[in-house]
A and B are shown apart, each in its own frame.
Chain A
Amino acid sequence: MATGAAAESVIDISGLSLTFETADGPVHALSDIGLSVERGEFVSLIGPSGCGKTTLLRVIADLEQPSAGKILVNGMTPDEARQRRAYGYVFQSSALYPWRTIAKNVALPLEVMGVSAAERQERVRKNLDLVNLTGFDRKFPWQLSGGMQQRASIARALSFDPALLLMDEPFGALDEMVRDHLNEQLLQLWAKTKKTVIFVTHSIPEAVFLSTRIVVMSPRPGRIHEVIDSDLPNKRTLDIRETPEFLKVAHRVREGLRAGHSYDD
């Protein structure tokens, strides 16, 4: 890593399984997951629907309880990590509160955490600036486009400055032009803030463009099929997607997805 500091595990998962008991019998959402993520990494979880990538992210966030196995977040159990506000979570939909202005939405976690009004104001300003939404603080969510709403929700996740950012298909509902633009902005943000990011997606170009490491998952039962290290430089622009290096990584991911998933069913 660029900082040269001793590699530090932010996430440490081994032998993790999660089984949902349903009326039709047990569903193996996650089976024998092992994964470790180091500080400053940008890791994408990619796979077809039903492969458990969102479930894995929710387990890290303590929104789901694993049935077996070990998981540590910052060396703590997910529950402890959540109580210490270790991560910011960005959902697939912006999940902004419709009755709050953009500024008030970004301030929500700060209010919950008891940050003073003056500091709240300062952090809201800083984070709206970070996602290029300066001047929209008094607008209500419905007055913003989908892409802007999602940027506001990223500002909200960053507002209390967590070292870990968990993103669940944050740009999945947006059109491709907006998505490309936000991908570029997210990379800049990542370089600026030095956060560890875990990013769920089902888009191969998105995963390859953003990640330092790509975790390819496959369904039934949800498991990790392959972990691909990207040798692309950390500084990237959208043009990189035309280079042979990019296409090579994308090809490996596609091969991995194909091998891990039979499309017969």
Chain B
Amino acid sequence: MNAALETSAFAREVWHRRAMAGNTGPVIVILVAIVAIWYLATFALNAPFQRDLDERAGRTPSFSEFVTETMTQKKPTLPAPHQVAADLYQTVVLAKPWKPSSLLYHCWVTLSSTLLGFAMGTALGIAIAVAIVHARSLDKSLMPWIITSQTIPILAIAPMVIVVLASIGLKGLIPKALISTYLSFFPITVGMVKGLRSPDPILLDLMRTYNASRAQVFFKLRVPASVPFLFASMKVAIAISLVGAIVGELPTGAVAGIGSRLLFGSYYSQTVQMWSALIAASVMAAVLVMIVGLVDRLVRRQMGAR
């Protein structure tokens, strides 16, 4: 009896350790907690409106009926997780991906301007960092402006950028990508300035004893030394590129993209659609950051990281 108890306790211990060993266990625990809190919040937030409805219709539902009602409203204040899941199933799995009724279609529209903006932001960020590292006067003159540029709320500047660009004939992908660029170049610049300056003085001295040129010091020492900094900044930059692309879609009156789904969702109180779009955006952000992380790992392995 005692032995059996001990074995089962041991088995439980092993199971517990195995479940919590990787990331999966802890992530699932948090996920379950979030869903539980979400359901509670759904009930709490939708209950007042539901009570009004019931009163007006002269209904007196039982408690369990009432709970069900709060979870099945057509335009809920907060949709229940299963409502969002059903909408996601409808728009992601069932809808044809090339039709505007598909969420994947909108994801692709936003993703294209995110990636273009991220690429331009990375290129611009690196270019500014290289200039700053090589000219001390630029460090003093340029850096304050760069920091100021990031204190202006993007929501305020986005419409102006869109309007100005539209007046010179630029519409569609480019203006949205430029908003992404505006946000994403900043972490790249800051990270790369730090990275290009990261080599130990002794390594710079070594290059001096070889009478190396500035270009050689740059490509053989500063650039490889800055790679870890570049990837750390790119992880931040790609996530805010996505934010930039979504914000850029709001004032364009864009008919496609995550931003437009959010906008139209709020016009027509399609809260379920808005939550689906939000979840799509966060999944996209997570996947993009993971891809950058993966490339980071591959590059670092090539560069001899242990």
What residues make up the interface of A, taking CB atoms closer than 8 Å to B? 61-63, 82-85, 87-89, 91, 93, 95, 97-101, 108-109, 111-113, 140-142
Contacts and interface: CB of A to CB of B under 8 A. Distances in A.
Contacts of B208: 62-63, 82
A193 B241 CA distance: 58
B207 interface: yes
A88 B205 CA distance: 12
Contact of B206 (A83, A84, A95, A98): A95
B220 A112 contact: yes
26 contacts: A61-B209, A63-B208, A82-B208, A82-B209, A82-B211, A83-B211, A84-B211, A85-B210, A85-B211, A87-B209, A88-B209, A89-B205, A91-B202, A91-B205, A95-B200, A97-B220, A97-B224, A98-B303, A108-B210, A108-B220, A112-B216, A112-B220, A140-B306, A141-B304, A142-B304, A142-B306
Given A84-B211, A95-B203, A97-B203, 12 more contacts: A82-B208, A85-B211, A91-B205, A95-B202, A99-B224, A99-B303, A99-B304, A101-B304, A109-B210, A111-B220, A112-B211, A112-B216
B92 interface: no
B304 A98 contact: yes
Contacts of B306: 140, 142
B212 to A, nearest CB: 5
Given A91-B202, A91-B205, A95-B202, A113 B210 contact: yes
B220 to A, nearest CB: 7
Nearest to B303: A99
Contacts of B216: 112
Contacts of A100: 304
A98, A99, A113: most-surrounded residue (chain B CB, <10 A):
A99
Contacts of A141: 304
Given A82-B211, A99-B304, A89 B206 contact: yes
B115 interface: no
A87 B206 CA distance: 11
B304 A89 contact: no
B205 to A, nearest CB: 6
Q: Majority SS of interface residues in chain B?
A: helix
Contacts of B209: 61, 63, 82, 87-89
A92 B306 CA distance: 24
Nearest to B205: A63
Contacts of A98: 303-304
A159 to B, nearest CB: 10
A91 B205 CA distance: 10
B254 interface: no
B236 interface: no
Nearest to B212: A112
Interface in B212-239: 212, 216, 220-221, 224-225, 227
A93 B200 CA distance: 11
B262 to A, nearest CB: 43
Contacts of B210: 85, 108-109, 112-113
A65 to B, nearest CB: 13
A254 B203 CA distance: 34
A128 to B, nearest CB: 17
B304 A112 contact: no
A112 B216 CA distance: 7
Contacts of A111: 220
Query: Lowest 10 CB-CB distances: which A-B pairs, in order?
Result: A140-B304, A99-B303, A112-B210, A89-B209, A112-B212, A109-B210, A99-B224, A95-B202, A83-B211, A112-B216
Contacts of A108: 210, 220
A100 B211 CA distance: 20
